[in-house]
Chain A
Amino acid sequence: MQERLKSRFTFLSDSQMVLLDKLNIVHRDAPGAAGTGDIAFPTSILVDGKGIVRWTYETETYRQRARPEEVMAAIGGL
């Protein structure tokens, strides 16, 4: 995935859905090309250097994602 997106970000795998469960963002039985399965709700969370949540993004449709400008503004506000 890192190669496909040509990204230098770290990709963490939560295949057991431990963190997703803690955050309550598991989309149970989500329909997909390969049948139904449990995946994550599209969510973004900005955490500061002390481990405190400073900004969150949630959505009502699987089409939507956070705008880059929104994310940069939140980071600039740290």
Chain B
Amino acid sequence: MLIFLLSIALVLGAVGVFIGNVAVSEQGELGFGFQQMIHARVPWALIAPALAGAGLGVYSLVRAPRWYKWPIVPVQVLLAGLLTVYFTTLSSLPNHRLALAVGDPFPSYSLVDQDGRLHTFDSSFEPSESSSESSDGGRPALYVFYRGDW
């Protein structure tokens, strides 16, 4: 019985952390486990407890079959499986390759900022001719490409 309760706690805990993070990220707040979700290629700290819980559930069912375990264990296996598939496969991006490498010149651009001002960057570093433009050259810059949301 103790093992069965532990298995439920492990699966629910992992799923709860996952759903909690997805929910709070909409409000810009960082939740427990968030570091794992955005920085780990595969966040085993979330997946491992879910898989361990599902495994314990199956073990408990095989060792001491009780009627109340039959509806719960398949749900545990399903939830742990879904979490694993999401983190290992569903959240993957298609293969892509950045068109430049360290040591290459950054390409020229001419783009508008949040205030409608035109920003230009010239790879050849020729000064921009129009006074209404602001040139982004001459100082180090970090370019972070957003997906529109975060």
A joins B in a complex: yes
**Residues A12 and B142 in contact in the complex (CB < 8 Å), given A23-B99, A62-B93:** no
- Minimal beta-carbon separation of B83 from chain A (angstroms): 13
Instruction: Give Cα A25–Cα B105 distance, bound, in whole angstroms.
Output: 16
Instruction: Give Cα A32–Cα B150 distance, bound, in whole angstroms.
Output: 12
**Which residue of A is nearest B138, CB measured?**
A49
Total interface residues on A, CB under 8 Å, equals 49
Within 8 Å by CB of A54, from B28, B93, B102, B145, lies B102
Instruction: Give Cα A22–Cα B111 distance, bound, in whole angstroms.
Output: 13
The answer to whether B99 and A51 touch across the interface, beta carbons within 8 angstroms, is no
**Residue numbers in A under 8 Å from B105 (CB-CB):** 51-53
Q: How many A-B residue pairs have CB under 8 A?
A: 144
The answer to whether A40 and B145 touch across the interface, beta carbons within 8 angstroms, is yes
- Minimal beta-carbon separation of B117 from chain A (angstroms): 9
- Minimal beta-carbon separation of A11 from chain B (angstroms): 5
B residues lining the A interface (CB < 8 Å)? 28, 37-41, 87, 91-94, 96-107, 109, 111-114, 119, 121, 123, 125, 137-149
* Known A25-B145, A43-B145; 10 more pairs at CB < 8 Å: A1-B146, A27-B94, A44-B144, A45-B106, A45-B143, A52-B103, A53-B100, A60-B93, A63-B91, A75-B142
A residues lining the B interface (CB < 8 Å)? 1-2, 4-5, 10-14, 18-20, 22-25, 27, 30, 32, 39-56, 58-65, 67, 71, 75, 78
